[in-house]
Amino acid sequence: MIIRNYTKKDEQGWLRCRILSFLNTAYFDNVLQQKETYENAAIELVAEIDGQIVGLIDVEYEATPKTVCTQQDSIGGMIWHIAVHPDYQRQGIGEALLKAVLQQAKELHIEYFEAWTRDDPWVQMWYEKYEFEKSTSYYHVYLEGNEMKNLMNASVDQFYPVTAFAHYTGKDLEQFQHVKRKHECVCYVKVFNQ
């Protein structure tokens, strides 16, 4: 297995690896057709086995605190994407990607990583194994058909929303009891020991 910088010719392999790795997670329908690019500088690494992209990590980092990340007053790197192909999971590839990105991050004087993930316990276990700490959370709420009643009212005549996706930052979860799909979105932070 080789860990190396992402190049443009990796795009299809990157997209496929990401989609397959997300299939069994709360992000199953978060599909990209083009790889994300970033306003700020980023460390973009892939893991390759026999010419196939089997893992990836993207960290966009800031020059000024709190312009990309949100949780500390020091320079942060946001992990926007981390994924390992399902046929290669739990073999240390995620750990190897994290170690490689951490090494580059320290050389760039980044002081912490921030990452947001939904409520898949096994994914959270990965973050916690590698000493990320829960910092804060809010909710991702998906509404379908009747679930919209009393929660969403369109103000346009003859306009009938049938699905909605919303962020909820409050504490009154009772009002979403009838909603099937909702996820706690958790922020993890890993502060580096230099």
Interface with ligand COA (CB under 6 A): 21-22, 25, 27, 82-84, 89-95, 117, 120, 122-123, 125-126, 129
Residue number, 3 or 151, with CB nearest to ligand COA = 3
Residue number, 7 or 24, with CB nearest to ligand COA = 24
The nearest distance, CB 99 to ligand COA, in angstroms, is 9
Contact (Cβ atoms closer than 8 angstroms) between residue 115 and residue 134: no
The nearest distance, CB 113 to ligand COA, in angstroms, is 12
Reading the block at residue 5, the tokens are 């910088």
Residue number, 136 or 175, with CB nearest to ligand COA = 136
The nearest distance, CB 119 to ligand COA, in angstroms, is 11
Sign of the CA dihedral 59, 127, 179, 21? positive
Instruction: Tell me the C-alpha distance between 73 and 6, whole Å.
Output: 29
Residue number, 72 or 124, with CB nearest to ligand COA = 124
SS3 107: helix
Residue number, 20 or 151, with CB nearest to ligand COA = 20
Q: What are phi and psi of 113, to 5 degrees?
A: -110, 145
Contact (Cβ atoms closer than 8 angstroms) between residue 115 and residue 78: yes
Residue number, 35 or 148, with CB nearest to ligand COA = 35
The nearest distance, CB 153 to ligand COA, in angstroms, is 32
Q: Which bin fits 78, alpha (ψ -120 to 50), beta or left (φ > 0)? A: beta
Residue nearest to ligand COA (CB): 94
The nearest distance, CB 194 to ligand COA, in angstroms, is 23
Taking alpha carbons only, the member of 80, 82, 85 closest to residue 23 is 85
The nearest distance, CB 82 to ligand COA, in angstroms, is 5
Contact (Cβ atoms closer than 8 angstroms) between residue 77 and residue 43: yes
Instruction: Tell me the C-alpha distance between 120 and 124, whole Å.
Output: 6
